[in-house]
Structure formats: structure tokens, C-alpha cells
Structure 1
Amino acid sequence: MEEGPGTSGSGSRVPTVVQAAACLLALAASAAALFLPTVVQETVSGSPGAEPERSIETLTLLQASPGTILIPLAVPPLLTLLPLLVPRRAAWLAGIICCALLFGFIALATATVGWFYLPALAAAVVAVFLRNAARAARNPKAG
């Protein structure tokens, strides 16, 4: 019996490659959030009776926040990495759960850096759909 496309070989690797791309996109988004100037800080100083002096400075998130900011920024890369670490049989379900959690993270962080992770979410969703198609090709229903 011949194997169809997507059942073995390079065709079954496509979801893994797309999931790896999602992980790289999430890492790039976290790096951009940390190192691009995204915080504007205004300082007002002066003495009584004098005109106040204002200075505006743009800071990176890493400069403006304590080191604990690394913890929430590690969540999206970990969520996109998890489907790559579980066994292939569980990768589809893990992908769905991680996409839902990543969507929730983006929704909660929309006011700050959530938008940075939309490309990673899109790639992760594509990987889930490709895994579903590969599963359907491997396990055709007997009719």
C-alpha cells in the first residue's frame, strides 16, 4: 500500500517547521519588546518660583522595568516551544491548548507588548491546522 502525501517523510515535517518558526517569532517578539525603546519617561524638575524643566526620555522595557519582566516575556516562547517537545501524538492537542493560552496572553497584554506576538500566534495556528491535516491523512476513516 502506498503512502499518501503528508503521511511520512518531509511532508510530516512541515507542521514541525512551522511550529519552530512560531517559536522563533515569539523569541524575536520578546527580544523586540525588551530592547526597542517602548517606554516614554517624562521628568519634571525645578525649584519653587522658577519655570519647571521637563525632559523626555525613551527607555527600553529592560531599562524601565526590573529583571522580573523576563518572566512574563518568556511565556510566549515557551508556549510555542511546548508542542515541539511533546510526543507527536500529543502535539496536535498541545498545539491547540498552547494557541489558546497564547491568545489569552496577547489579549491580556494588548495595551503593552501583546501585539508583538500576533505573528507567532498566526504561525502556531497554521501549525495546528497542518498537524490536523497530517493526522487525517495518517488515519483515514474506514467508510
Structure 2
Amino acid sequence: MPPNRHITTNEPSEEPPVPALTAPLSKAAQEELLQEACRQTWAAYRVAYRKRHGVDPVRNAKVNTNVKDLVKRLGRDEAPLVAGWFVSVNEQYAVKRLHDLGVLLSGAEAYRTQWATGRQVTATIAQQQDQTQANASAADDAKALLRRMKGNANAQ
């Protein structure tokens, strides 16, 4: 059979269909999509913030820049979801800073991973994981020492 048999027969192709080519978006269209994502991100953050803290968050030029940067880093689809979720974070630093958008922006990828996995990482959890690793490393060191001691005893 010829290599292009899927073209000459009625058999379904195993190859995925090729998507239709679309013209790239104009700069104005790209900017409008970005601005819409920024509006959605701000709205999600503001609603969650007001629910948790009882007031609207401060909005100024710095905050607007943070929102735009967050959308650029996390994407138009996930930025609003992560921003709304972020206000539920109980990490000491975030709570102490009253869920400032700068905190979210500074750890955007880590907060996105916490949102995606449904696992918040607090200082206590991080400390427990650090202690667990320290214990495992100490146990590995002790096992290695015992193996060396056993090897030396067998050599004599």
C-alpha cells in the first residue's frame, strides 16, 4: 500500500486533523485580550479579598501593573482563578501582608502550583518536610556507616 493510503481509501486516518490556519491577532486585539484578562483577574481578586477582609483592596498604578504582570506570567485563563484563590491562602507571610498582590506576584508560579494541586504550603508544613528530609538523610548516613564498618570487619 502507498504511504498516503489514508488519502486514497475510505479508511479513517490515524493522524490528527490539521487545524485551520488563522491570521495572527493584531496588536490591538492582543492588547484587548490582555486587558479583558486583567479585568477578570482584578474582579476575582477583589471579590475574594472583600469576602475575607471586609473591604476592597487598594487599587493604584502599582496594583494595576501587578495584575498585568500576573496575567503575563500565569496566562489569561489561570490568572483570574489563582488570584481569587490566593486570598484563601493561610501562609503566614501572605496573611501578615493581608494578601497583597505583590506577594502573589513574587511567588506566582509557586502559588499557581499550590492552586493546581489543592495543597497549600505553610511554614509549618515546610518545616515538617525539612525535618523529615533531615531524618531520612541521617538514617542514610547511619546505614552507610554501618555498611563501611561491616565491610572493614569482614576484611580483617
TM-score, scaled relative to structure 2: 0.26
Q: Using CA pairs below 8 Å that are at least 6 residues apart, which structure has the higher relative contact order? A: 1
Q: TM-score normalised to the size of structure 1?
A: 0.28
Larger radius of gyration: 2
